[in-house]
Amino acid sequence: MRLNFAELERFYRGLVTKARGRGITCAITSGMACVEFGVAETTKDCDLLCTPESSKKLLDLLSDASLHGQLPSYRGHLTAPLDERWLRGGWTSHFVWNARGAEAYLDVFGVAPRSSAPWERELEGFYACRHTVAEMKRTNRERDWPYATALGAQMIEAGDARGWLHIFDMDLLLALTRVARPPASLSRRRPVLGLAVSGDSRLRSVLHAEVQFWHELDRVRLGIYQRAVRLYMRAVTRARLPPEVGLVVQHEARVRCAEKHLPWSPLVDYGVMRLIEDARTAVAELVNPTALAWLPDVREHFNVAAE
């Protein structure tokens, strides 16, 4: 029997309710948040933001979180342990429930990828705010970008000027600038907005370059973490931890492996400016190099903690 979306949503909302009751700051984000905000129809898993300092409390909660009689286990050999040290450094912890012959997935983030401000400062009920969700949708997956644009349009309609930062559809951007103007502060932050306001003929190519820039930023970032996880993955594989041993035992073994083989903050080790320059170099090979002058300053979107 397949678990339907409504059933999974109730389960995940129940986890958030229980977590907050224990003093854990957390919020649902990404696909499930897009469904809640009316820009997506369904999703098969749940992404959860949790403050890193609450990781132990959340692990205790998950260890007893039954779904149709099944308890969760860590999913796959790549996933980092749910531990404050690695959550602060941008790692994600992945969990799975096998229930009624179907699977339910939970991915836990301590840092919202590509977010320009601490996500916990602004929540919308069970969910991260639209601004955080839209920033998280700036991935290297083409299917994510319409969600970011739709959320941005909702924000503008609601009077939240930050929505201008999330409009990546040229026709919509031009239509919006015919009836309103983005604040000058946002145009300085995102230069393409100035081109839209003035009807500049370079808008299409610069907007394309901006999207490609975010694609490359995400590609480079993922590559950094994928290289950093290799030794840890081999150690976890050798540890042979079946779901039957329980989440706490799995966790303790993963922490031992991580302490030997998993760097806390691979992005800090690599260097944020180096990441950005790598992405700019890659974009220069894909677009008209003159468009690079109009790319946004993205340094604030890659704030992860050092050791």
Q: Are 236 and 77 in contact (CB under 8 A)?
A: yes
Confidence of residue 101 (pLDDT cuts 50, 70, 90): low
Q: Is the pLDDT of residue 100 over 70?
A: no
> What is the CB neighbour count within 10 angstroms for residue 279?
22
Locate 156 and state its tokens: 């503008």
Q: Which CATH number applies to 5-109?
A: 3.30.460
Return the higher-pLDDT residue of 226 and 44.
226
Question: How do residues 61-82 score in pLDDT, each as one tens digit?
Answer: 999 999 988 999 999 888 999 9
Question: How do residues 246-262 score in pLDDT, each as one tens digit?
Answer: 999 999 999 999 999 99
pLDDT computed for residue 3 by the predictor: 72
The stretch 234-245 carries a mean pLDDT of 87
pLDDT computed for residue 240 by the predictor: 86
pLDDT computed for residue 107 by the predictor: 97
Confidence of residue 154 (pLDDT cuts 50, 70, 90): very high
Instruction: Give buried/exposed letters for 236-268 (b at 16+ CB in 10 A, else e).
Output: beeeebebeeebeebbebbbebbeebbbbbbbb
Residue type, 299: R
**Closest alpha carbon to 125 in 237, 12, 205:** 12
Average model confidence (pLDDT) for the chain?
Answer: 94
Which residues have CB under 8 Å from 211's CB, separation 6+?
Answer: 145, 168
pLDDT computed for residue 243 by the predictor: 75
pLDDT computed for residue 254 by the predictor: 97
pLDDT computed for residue 214 by the predictor: 97
The stretch 99-128 carries a mean pLDDT of 91
Question: How do residues 174-210 score in pLDDT, each as one tens digit?
Answer: 999 999 999 999 999 999 999 999 999 999 999 999 9
pLDDT computed for residue 102 by the predictor: 67
Which residues belong to CATH 3.30.460 in the chain?
Answer: 5-109
Q: Are 275 and 302 in contact (CB under 8 A)?
A: yes
The stretch 11-34 carries a mean pLDDT of 97
Distance of CA 159 to the CA centre of its chain: 24
pLDDT computed for residue 96 by the predictor: 95
pLDDT computed for residue 83 by the predictor: 98
